[in-house]
Amino acid sequence: MSDEQKDPSSEDVEVPVTEEAVPVEEAVPVEEAAPVEEAAPVEEAAPVEEAVVAVEAVEAVVAPEPEPMPIVPVEAPVARSGEQAPGLFLAFNPPEVSEDAPPRRRRGVGEDPAEALRKWQPITRLGRTVLSGEIVTMEQALRSGMPIREVQIIDALLPNLEEEVITVNMIQRMTDSGRRVRFNVMACVGNRDGYVGLAIAKGKEVAGTIRKAIDAAKLNIISVQRGNGSWESSVGPGTSIPFKVTGRAGSTRLTLMPAAAGKGLVVGQTGKKILELAGISDILSRSKGQTRTTINYALATYNALIEMNKTRVSDDQKNRLYMVRGRILE
């Protein structure tokens, strides 16, 4: 009886299971899932973006153009002594010059510095502070830490700068179209009281290149440390340098040493021009290398003054050597 009961039950179970498993596999074919992806093509979304862009383009064309802002002229600052840079004060209050006085000689071409200051529209932060009267001296401008990018800043803070052309060289180059001539000019500026600048410029015309070199020298202006560093000098402020320093340029090595008052500038003619504009009247020197190269000799002298500013000196040494950086303020 147990065997007879098992046979019909097994037959009943196997028949429906096998019949139902076959249609399940046929009901979900893999190939029929592809039309789902085709129902949402990506290409059909493009016309929507193009329509939005087209609408924006139409609105941009239809929209009226904005009216130009009126140009308001900047009024010249009120010229008051003590509240303005000295160059600006002289530009807006020029001193009376007699008819018999000879005209002031200027090197190169270009606009007069006083006239340029009256039309000056500063584009840098330092220039705006100088024009507004917040900075009125060169010492304040250097302590601010802001770079000097405009020539008018130097003309406003140091109006009594003297200009000197160190050398003018003609450079010729042969090309397919012929011989091309250019000029190489080195210029130096200084106020003979602690400030000096040096630069080189190149150009096609001599006058324009000289003006370009002078403007570049104004942007490279530095303060010079002076003092009484010679053991031969008497106690008191000196007109020499506080200690020995060496400057290098190419193969030229120039060592500047303190000298006693009245010794004079014992240095080459090129270095003498730079030191005179810097306000140094007594010095000793020793040079090595190709000292006949005018440009390298001038750069070595200028670099020696820069190296002197990099030397760290204690307050006790500053008092003992009577060191002064920049102008001697009375």
Please give the domain boundaries of the chain with CATH numbers for all domains.
Answer: 79-91+108-159 (no CATH), 224-325 (3.30.230.10)
Comparison of pLDDT for 313 and 20, the residue scoring more: 313
Reported for 233-241, long-range contacts at CB under 8 A and 24+ positions apart, including other chains, are 233/258, 233/260, 233/261, 234/261, 236/322, 237/322, 237/324, 237/328, 238/282, 238/322, 239/279, 239/280, 239/281, 239/282, 240/280, 240/281, 240/282, 240/283, 241/280, 241/283, 241/308
Per-residue DSSP letter, 109 = S
Phi, psi of 165 (to 5 degrees): -90, 120
Span of 8-22, 87-101, 246-260 with lowest mean pLDDT: 8-22
Q: Is pLDDT of 181 > 80?
A: yes
**Which residues does residue 198 pair with via DSSP β-bridges, in sequence order?**
188
Residue 13's pLDDT band (cuts 50, 70, 90): very low
> How many CB atoms are closer than 10 A to CB 81?
8
Top mean-pLDDT range of 244-248, 316-320, 321-325: 244-248
Element (H, E) at 318: helix 315-321
Q: What is the pLDDT of residue 202?
A: 95
Span of 25-39, 166-180, 207-221 with lowest mean pLDDT: 25-39
Residue 177's pLDDT band (cuts 50, 70, 90): confident
The one-letter amino acid code at 136 reads: V
Q: What is the pLDDT of residues 24-57, one digit of tens each?
A: 444 444 455 444 445 445 455 445 445 444 445 4
Q: In whole angstroms, how large is the CA radius of gyration of the chain?
A: 40
Span of 127-136, 186-195, 196-205, 229-238 with lowest mean pLDDT: 229-238
Say whether pTM exceeds 0.75. Answer: no
Kindly report the length of the chain.
Answer: 330
Q: What is the pLDDT of residue 96?
A: 72
Q: Is pLDDT of 167 > 80?
A: yes
